Structure 1
Amino acid sequence: MTLRKPPAAPRTPAAPQTPVAPPPRWAVRAAHLTALVVLPSGLWRIALVLGHPAGYTEAGFEPFATVDAKLWMLTLSVVSELVALLTLGLVRPWGEVVPRWIPLIGGRRVRPLATVVPAALGAAALTLIWATVPLWWTYPHADLTPTGNLVVGILYQPLFLWGPLTAAVTVSYYRRHRARHRVRRRG
């Protein structure tokens, strides 16, 4: 007769020492909106990858027909969306405790500065990168049809909000965790 071990209790995430206030509703909405503002330009690039000229003239579309260009556009679209989705970590529990399924560090608390610093730097970089998007129509785009120029400009306009939205959600995350740090230092 073999003895069976009783089943192990399920592992639960580490409980915070001092509770962190839940994110404000506006921050949750802003985090979700961040993922959405990246989507139109990504879908447009995926249309190019699939062989649709998506507003380009015949000659303007030629450089996008290569395998390298398609791989680059697909990678850019996927990575951009994944980076935008990381903003959700600033309002979700996995932004405070690493999910258990991640090897080596799963279940550990996330240090707030390890989140705030990269998020703030990313928000600043995104703000600088996309700052000129509202000026889209002031630059010539000879490789686009007039309709394509209008549509592409419209699809890229939401990217102007990516950096500021990320910054706002980052500030909210920082304030919530700073308040917890203050309570812990007093106690």
Structure 2
Amino acid sequence: MDSSLTSRRLRQLIRWLTAAAAGFTVITAIPARADLIDERNEMVAKFINEMHADPLVADCAAHGAFVASTSNVIDRVVFPPESFDNAHASIKPWNDSFDEGKQRVKVDNIVTVPGQGIAKDKDHAPYALSFRCGYVGPQMLAFSWNDPVPAAKPRSEHSTRKGKSKHGSKQGAKRSTRKSTAQ
């Protein structure tokens, strides 16, 4: 009886420690997220106020800079002043799907803005980057860019072998069964 009470107290202590550790993780993650949002907002304000960018172009550029900074080959993204002029950046009315892939969401405007990816490898020339964002009003719903290191091809969800349906059964076998019962 004494050992069951001890093991119950030990389990309670472990649960308490686990909950405390989880709470600590959440508490420390919130300021980090807030810092990223603050940095992004500062970048958007800088592009608008100092480089005279349209707010949608500034938003797309800031998002692109953040995404590109997660690349294995890009240290940071810079936007020369001409990146935000009408000859380089654009906002096009769209009213269609952003793309034909996973981001088939309908958007009202497509924003494109060029930038330069400064390579982590100091001997490599900067990468010419192009960021494309899809918006409905002021809200970005889709994003793409010309990542110099494309992601690995995702595995197909369904079998693509001839004669197989998406559930893996042979279509030919179903047809032949139907024909044989019809005769």
Same fold (TM over 0.5): no
- Between Structure 1 and Structure 2, the one with more strand by share is 2
> TM-score scaled to structure 1, two decimals?
0.22
> TM-score scaled to structure 2, two decimals?
0.22
- Between Structure 1 and Structure 2, the one with more helix by share is 1
Question: Which entry has the higher C-alpha Rg, 1 or 2?
Answer: 2
**Higher RCO, 1 or 2 (CA under 8 Å, sep at least 6)?**
1
